[in-house]
Structure 1
Amino acid sequence: MMEIRNPLDDIKLIDCISGKNAIDRIMRRYALGRGDYENSKYVREKNQELGWTNYSRDIITPFWKTFCAALVYTSAHYEIVRGKWKSDNVKETYILVENNIQYRTYYDKRDDTKGTPLSKEKMGKRYLDGNFTHKSFVDKTIEIFPELEELAAISDSISNFSPCPDQPFNSMKGLLPDVCDFLNLFVDKIQKCVDANVGLEYDKLSVTADDIRAWHIWLLKNREKFLLQDYYAIDDNRLRGKEFFPGQSLNNPLPFAERDIRKCIENEIDILKKRGAMF
């Protein structure tokens, strides 16, 4: 079995997930239903080496949400009709509903309906099965945004995992539509709750104002310790998330313009490389 020699090594390779490239590998991981590697032995061993023990862990840079934004961009500019690409009078094949990806069939487009949710696992399986539409759109998206391939590799590296407060911190971060799994935005959400002295509720998850304050204190105390300086700033005991693209906020969590998608991917890669070099 391969060993991790660099904090930026793709854990999928060590986990025996093969593929012709990083996109193929991440789709295979999705198809297998394997979650992120925050609780893998590779991350645990590195955390022990760094003295980061007795903490929960979570990803800090979301590949899936960034990929979905890029896929929706492709879908807004290109459509497959009778097996061929067209770029005029396009009807979107993929859309976001509460910032979650949905797939629209020919009939959904015809009837102007929202389609059905598309999970990571379903997308991975359809891509690997050679489903013409899904594979074509993924390949087209990578053609437009080739940097996604590098992000697909290093987003599953040790550099993308950090200790975090206990549950439901990571679940809330992943599920809140205005956060989209971005740590920098969750920081802003937490500060907003602290300012208003309120808790958080979403779906079946609930945390109190006291819980939020405890998360706030944790983030104040541990930014340098866990190498999170590029994700948020601290000003007079206030937390402020750092943008991954111009104008990113709780009201605008995902990039939709081509330049913003490129900037988001570029920043994600640069920050992960910088953090990996600190280990």
Structure 2
Amino acid sequence: MRKILCVIAALLVISIVLSIAVYAESANDITKSSKKSENTKSSKLDKYVNKEFENKITKQFAKDKNWTKINSTSVFTTWIKTDDHHTKDGKKIWNKAIFELDPTRKYDKVKSDKKTVVVYPIFTDSAYSEPGFYTYYRNECDTKCLTIKIQNNFLPQANPNAVQILKLLDYSFITDIDVDKNPQVLAKYDKVIILHNEYVTKKEFNAITAHPNVIYLYPNALYAEIKADYAKNTIMLIRGHNYPKSDIRNGFDWKFDNSPSEYDTACKKMQFSRIDNGWMLNCYPENIIHKSMRFLETIKKL
């Protein structure tokens, strides 16, 4: 009888071990399948990425022997040109910095999962060129300055720090033009990050506000409506920013406009608020985005 019980016990142990092995193998297969599925989706999204624009980013922020590495509060290695600065409140402010991944740090928790796309504000970059919209706003030019050339050479007036950091963290980029020409492209991604996209077309506005998970990383986004003429390579202001009437603020009458928050550049009380189609930051994070791993991790997790 004792021998029979021992045999039964041994068989039970073997059965349990085999069950655990089968479960582990099954779980491993599921994990592999999940990773394979994610990689497949990521590779399918590659065709929508604006590689030409991403190459321009890389060239714009390439350093040479004139750049000096400095100690800074950034979580990235920081390079500057020692003679390229201005002074504010007695402090030296570098006009441009180049960032690189710091080999002593780990960035796994903040790197993109490749299912998120950043929309670069090329229309806004163009709007700030001179003469242009702001020449008109200052009453230094008539309405002819409300039709301007699209700046295709990537002048990093719009969020250079954010562009560098998100690019270093493997986020994919497209531009306003990509969205205007193909509004459906945003639906291919799980998440969309909007920078200081102040000037957008009606089609772009509709595409962005229709997406269910948008991070409005900068205040003053979606503020004024413009129209693009790609045959002439121009944009024209249609509505917004006190035009065509002085009492018009947001050109789309967008209820989530948070433009006053763009003047908070210190971001001491920085937080995201939930809106209908995503999350909106309450300050202008250009000087913060390269300093906080926690902030970058939040962007990834939202």
TM-score, structure 2 as length reference? 0.29
Higher normalized helix content (fraction of residues): 1
Q: Larger relative contact order (C-alpha < 8 A, sep ≥ 6)?
A: 1
Higher normalized strand content (fraction of residues): 2
Task: Report which of the two structures shows the higher radius of gyration computed on alpha carbons.
Answer: 2
TM-score, structure 1 as length reference? 0.31
